[in-house]
Structure formats: C-alpha cells, structure tokens
C-alpha cells in the first residue's frame, strides 16, 4: 500500500503498461485495462487509509461503552463506529475523488482516449495550442467542481454533519 501511495500515478502506469509485459509470463494489458487497474489500485490504497483513520478517529471511550453494554462487534461497528467515522471519511473520499479526476489526465500517455487525448488531437488539427489547453483546463475544473459538490451534498446528509450545523445555528442564536 505504501508503494502505491508513495509513487506517481504516471510512473505506475508506465510500469504496468510498458514494463510488466516484458516480464516472462506476465500478461499484456490493453491501455484502458492498465489505466483502470492503476487508478483503481491507487485510489483503493488511499481509500483504505482514509477508512482506517476514520475508524481510528472514534474515541476509545465509545468502544469501551459499547463493550460494557454487551454490544456485538458487528452492531458496534454499524451503530456506533461507522456513523461517527463517516463524518471524517466522506470529506476525505471527496478529496480522493477529485484527485482521481485529475489523475485521469495522465492516461493519455498510454494511448487511452480521454479528454486530454482528444484535446491534443484538436490542437494538432487546429494549431490553436493556448485555446485548446484553456478549454481542457476548463473541462477539468468543471469535472472537479461537480465531483466536489456531489460529495459536499452527501456530507450534508450525514447525521454528524446535521448535528454540527444544528450546534452552529444554536450558537448563532445567542
């Protein structure tokens, strides 16, 4: 997991697509499969760390209280730990989702036809480098903003988030 989080997505993509097939017995992957594999593993590595830290953010006293009440481990997780941990997990997953949108820009280096790939084809045809790259930047900004807004909407539906907003409203009423 540390290897996936510690190296560049571009380097990983080059290794999986170009270097892996040169190893005897290793499969030769299509560009799309290599891109999905690398982005999925990288996002999964970050996601696992987010979930682990979100669960660890729940105070130990909560778990002790659950144990004292005799709650089974599954009930503890679903009823006590996860509702509190989701307040930490969802915003961090939103950040990873935005990062994954940005990571897709490197898949064109292994011939996957994404927005950047199409933009380069348009740039070659029209010879309008600045305009095309401004348009590409605009596309990525729109994708990132929409992704962030979706996760913000999910975050506001969480019970912990609603409780925090209620406390802010009460503090403002003084």
pLDDT (tens digit per residue) in 113-155: 778 888 888 999 999 999 999 998 999 999 999 999 999 999 8
The whole-angstrom separation of Cα 159 and Cα 161 is 5
User: What local confidence, expressed as pLDDT, does residue 119 receive?
Assistant: 86
User: What local confidence, expressed as pLDDT, does residue 88 receive?
Assistant: 87
Question: What value does the mean pLDDT of the chain take?
Answer: 86
Q: Give me the residue label for tokens 């709650």.
A: 71
The whole-angstrom separation of Cα 39 and Cα 9 is 7
| Domain CATH code at residue 22 | 1.10.3720.10
Number of domains within the chain: 1
User: What local confidence, expressed as pLDDT, does residue 164 receive?
Assistant: 60
User: What local confidence, expressed as pLDDT, does residue 70 receive?
Assistant: 92
Instruction: Using alpha carbons, select from 32, 39, 53 the residue that is nearest to residue 112.
Output: 32
**Phi–psi pair at 131, nearest 5 degrees:** -65, -45
Reduced to 3 states, what is the DSSP secondary structure of residue 158? coil
Instruction: Say which DSSP state 106 is in.
Output: G
Q: What residue ranges in the chain does DSSP mark as E strands?
A: none
Residue 56: pLDDT band (50, 70, 90) is very high
For residue 148, the enclosing domain spans 2-172
Per-residue pLDDT reduced to its tens digit, 58-86 = 888 988 999 999 999 999 999 889 988 88
User: What local confidence, expressed as pLDDT, does residue 146 receive?
Assistant: 96
How far are the Cα atoms of 5, 105, 148, 160, 166 from residue 156, in angstroms, in the given order? Answer: 29, 29, 12, 9, 12
The whole-angstrom separation of Cα 7 and Cα 9 is 7
User: 115-126 and 129-157 are packed helices; what angle lies between their axes, rounded to 10 degrees?
Assistant: 160
């Amino acid at each position: 997991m540390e290897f996936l989080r510690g190296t560049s997505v571009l380097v990983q993509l080059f290794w999986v697509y170009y270097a892996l097939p040169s190893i005897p017995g290793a499969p030769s992957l299509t560009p799309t499969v290599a891109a999905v594999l690398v982005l999925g593993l990288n996002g999964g590595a970050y996601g696992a760390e987010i979930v682990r830290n979100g669960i660890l953010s729940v105070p130990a006293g909560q778990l002790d209280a659950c144990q004292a009440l005799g709650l089974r481990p599954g009930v503890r997780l679903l009823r006590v730990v996860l509702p509190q941990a989701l307040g930490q997990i969802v915003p961090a997953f939103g950040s990873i989702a935005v990062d994954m949108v940005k990571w897709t820009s490197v898949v064109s280096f292994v011939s996957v036809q994404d927005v950047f790939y199409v933009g380069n084809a348009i740039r070659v045809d029209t010879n309008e480098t600045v305009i095309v790259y401004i348009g590409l930047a605009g596309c990525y900004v729109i994708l990132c903003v929409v992704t962030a807004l979706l996760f913000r909407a999910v975050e506001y539906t969480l019970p912990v988030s609603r409780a925090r907003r209620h406390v802010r409203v009460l503090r403002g009423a003084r």
